[in-house]
Amino acid sequence: MTSHVRNPLTGIWLFLAISTVISWWSGSQHGANSYQASTWVTAIVVLIALVKTRFVIRNYMEVRFAPLWLQLTCDAWLLCLFGLVADGF
């Protein structure tokens, strides 16, 4: 049991789970008549998704042990994707 607690992936999994709850909470509607989209909330949720995706790519897809060119390519892809999504705001 303690080997799972000491594993760095456990902390990353906990971060991903907490950030999922934060994204859900910030994106959920908290009023009966508040069904309008908010640009700021959408941007925050997409930014959280960007950070979560980077953690998944680096740690669960083992890119952190890959050559530097692959790490930089993955980061550039994420930034381009975020730029394309953010351009739609």
Average pLDDT in the 41-54 region?
90
| Residue that wins the pLDDT comparison between 25 and 27 | 25
Place of tokens 């971060």: 15
- Confidence class for position 69, pLDDT limits 50, 70, 90: very high
Q: What's the pTM value of the predicted model, to 2 decimals?
A: 0.78
Check whether 55 has a pLDDT greater than 80.
yes
Average pLDDT, the chain: 86
Check whether 12 has a pLDDT greater than 90.
yes
Outline where 1-89 has alpha helix (H): 2-6, 8-27, 39-55, 68-87
Query: What was the pLDDT predicted at 27?
Result: 75
State the Cα–Cα distance between residues 32 and 13, nearest whole angstrom: 33
Sequence-ordered list of residues with C-beta below 8 angstroms from that of 41, at least 6 positions apart, any chain: 26, 27
